[in-house]
Amino acid sequence: MIDTPHSRRVQRAMEQELRRSLKGLKVPGHPRPFYLSYQLMTAEGLDVWGRYGAVFNAEPLKYHELYAEVRVGSHAFDQTVDGSLHTDFVDRDSYNWLGAPQDLDPTALRYALWKLTQLKYWESIQEYYDKKKIMVDQRLKKDAPSFSKEPKVVKNQQVTAVSFPKKRWEDFVRKASELFKGYKNLVDPYVRIRGISKVRIFVNSEGSKYIAQDNYYEVLVASWCLTKEGVYLNASEAFHTRDPQQLPSNKQMAEAIDRVAKDLASLAKAEPMEPYAGPALLSGLATGLIFHEAIGHRLEGERMISRTEGQTFAGKIGQAILPKGVDLIDDPSRARWGEHDLFGHYTVDDEGVPARPVKLVEDGVLQTFLMSRACTRNFKQSNGHGRHERHQDPMARMANLIVQSKEQHSWDELKGMMMEDVGRRRLPHGIIVKDVSSGETRTDHYDFQAFKGVPTAVYSVDPKTGKETRVRDVNFIGTPLAAIQRIKAFGKDYQVDNSYCFAESGSVPVSTIAPAMLVDELELQRATTRYFRPPILSFPPLDRKPATKSK
């Protein structure tokens, strides 16, 4: 793995080639580069998974990949259109030259950068004239520069070698997954442990440079069960940390597997739910998902300048978009929340801008957007949120999204408020969403401005007795403006959700921190369900049973 001295040598080679390219790249009669940056992304890690006491796969994770940004024209007018949200990278010649030498030899690295930069420069010139052609019959917004000017930043961290103990992790997977032998109701269960160390080395033509290292560890327990009517149901439990010393113990894994088994048994007994629209109480995990999908993505700066986007909040700066007393903050500089590591933490973004907290909404009023170096009207500086996965162009992305409210209620108070509302409206029941697995949203104006969440623990609540009955086979849906207008109250206890977010600039690690939330209406629709036949043969015999069994 790359270490500190090696990373500094690599960075010097990148600086040397950058200066040479910036000076020498020119085609007579065509625009020259006014900005150039290089980023080397290296990653090493290990992914191990298995079931029933056996390792099914142990895969080393390793890549060294280059990214070059070549901007021609000027800060005021460069080659980018629509925030570069819809660039088709895969069909470009430069896509075939992203690989860096595996040993990161400085001379070979300069060759790779030279080749990539030349192709990127030609592509940038072509895009510059494509943009000019668009302007023959269309009006592009000119109320902001194309690219922000940022101060010089130097942040070179120490790079620490990280080991991924293959034998120990394989033994961990064997021991944990062997516990599945005691749970005959589980279908295709597995245990997975994954760790990866990412090092980013960056230089640009403004003199900024950084070396940053980020480590991520995940352990997942997942399984399915098949109901009598032939529906597969899923349950899982995950552990996320940035510190390998905080990975779960054997005891914690046994407890997690038992919880997953009991959760599936509970789900199998639950009845499918009919479509519903009415009051709902959401856990902090569900609240975070709604804010992430319905609001967070719509505050990404590039979406304010793209012609294809719905621009839900583009004209609402200074206006109330959330209830009074509610703040929405994104803070990538924060590494922990209580006892939880935050996956969205970083020190400097992928454009060389330091991470910092950004108060997007204050006291319910929209203050700003998540910003990369792509400028929007009234916002001509980055706030450290330019991020990408690998070859995609960076764009403004969420990091650690935090929902805070001055009004705070206990869970029981929120449930009582919901039951009162349900009774007043003479509805047969209310809804509690305690856990969710994923979500998605559409932000372009060619489609419906909607979001969807996939809950994994949903309960109907009797308004008279408060009895909770588990239900299944539903998703919650909504439109962003309607969703935030129906917020009634917030809880006082926060939950942290670490995950990965997928968007135009790829998959990036994120965290959401949010309290419980009461809404006066949430719409639930039937989830798409397929009915399967059970296996022809019964489960094969197992050689032994562990002591732990589900009750």
Residue 383 placed within a domain: yes
User: pLDDT tens for residues 445-466?
Assistant: 545 556 777 888 999 999 999 9
| Domain extent at residue 142 | 4-211
CATH of the domain at 105: 3.30.2290
Torsion, Cα of 127, 128, 131, 133 (10° steps): -100
Say whether both 380 and 293 belong to one domain.
Answer: yes
pLDDT at 194 over 70: yes
Say whether both 374 and 505 belong to one domain.
Answer: yes
Say whether both 283 and 201 belong to one domain.
Answer: no
Say whether both 180 and 312 belong to one domain.
Answer: no
From CA 451, how far away is CA 441, in angstroms rounded?
4
pLDDT score for 134? 87
Chain mean pLDDT for the chain: 92
User: pLDDT tens for residues 411-437?
Assistant: 999 999 999 999 999 999 999 999 988
Residue 206 placed within a domain: yes
pTM: 0.93
Say whether both 194 and 312 belong to one domain.
Answer: no
Long-range contacts of 159-163 (CB under 8 A, 24+ apart): 159/2, 159/3, 159/4, 159/6, 159/7, 159/199, 159/211, 159/213, 160/3, 160/213, 161/1, 161/3, 162/1, 162/44, 162/195, 162/197, 162/215, 162/244
Say whether both 295 and 384 belong to one domain.
Answer: yes
From CA 155, how far away is CA 347, in angstroms rounded?
9
pLDDT at 52 over 70: yes
The pLDDT > 90 percentage for the chain reads 76
Give every CB contact of residue 492 below 8 A, 6+ residues apart in sequence: 408, 409, 410, 515
pLDDT at 142 over 70: no
Q: Which residue has the tokens 């030279």?
A: 114
Q: How many CB atoms lie within 10 A of CB 467?
A: 11
Say whether both 118 and 37 belong to one domain.
Answer: yes
Domain boundary among 211, 239, 255: 211
Domain boundary among 211, 231, 254: 211
pLDDT score for 212? 98
Residue 223 placed within a domain: no
Say whether both 180 and 288 belong to one domain.
Answer: no
Q: Would you say how long the chain is, in residues?
A: 551
Residue 213 pLDDT level (bands cut at 50, 70, 90): very high
From CA 474, how far away is CA 50, in angstroms rounded?
30
534/115: higher pLDDT: 115
- At residue 425's C-alpha, the angle toward residues 423 and 427, to 5°, is 70
Say whether both 327 and 449 belong to one domain.
Answer: yes
Long-range contacts of 87-91 (CB under 8 A, 24+ apart): 87/392, 87/393, 89/391, 89/392, 89/393
Say whether both 178 and 310 belong to one domain.
Answer: no
pLDDT at 326 over 50: yes
pLDDT at 549 over 50: no
> What are the Cα distances from residue 250, in Å, to 253, 254, 257, 271?
5, 6, 11, 34
pLDDT at 545 over 90: no
pLDDT at 548 over 60: no
Task: Check residue 244 and report its DSSP letter.
Answer: G
pLDDT at 547 over 50: no
Give every CB contact of residue 543 below 8 A, 6+ residues apart in sequence: none
Q: What is the mean pLDDT of residues 378-388?
A: 96
Residue 266 placed within a domain: no
- For 201, the token pair is 């080395």
Element (H, E) at 372: none
Domain boundary among 167, 190, 211: 211
pLDDT score for 441? 64
Number of domains comprising the chain: 2
Residue 425 placed within a domain: yes
From CA 527, how far away is CA 544, in angstroms rounded?
38
Residue 128 pLDDT level (bands cut at 50, 70, 90): very high
Residue 230 placed within a domain: no
From CA 408, how far away is CA 227, in angstroms rounded?
40
Say whether both 27 and 171 belong to one domain.
Answer: yes
pLDDT score for 444? 54
Say whether both 197 and 318 belong to one domain.
Answer: no
Residue 340 placed within a domain: yes
Residue 265 pLDDT level (bands cut at 50, 70, 90): very high
304/480: higher pLDDT: 304
pLDDT at 470 over 90: yes
Residue 547 placed within a domain: no
pLDDT score for 475? 86
Give every CB contact of residue 536 below 8 A, 6+ residues apart in sequence: none
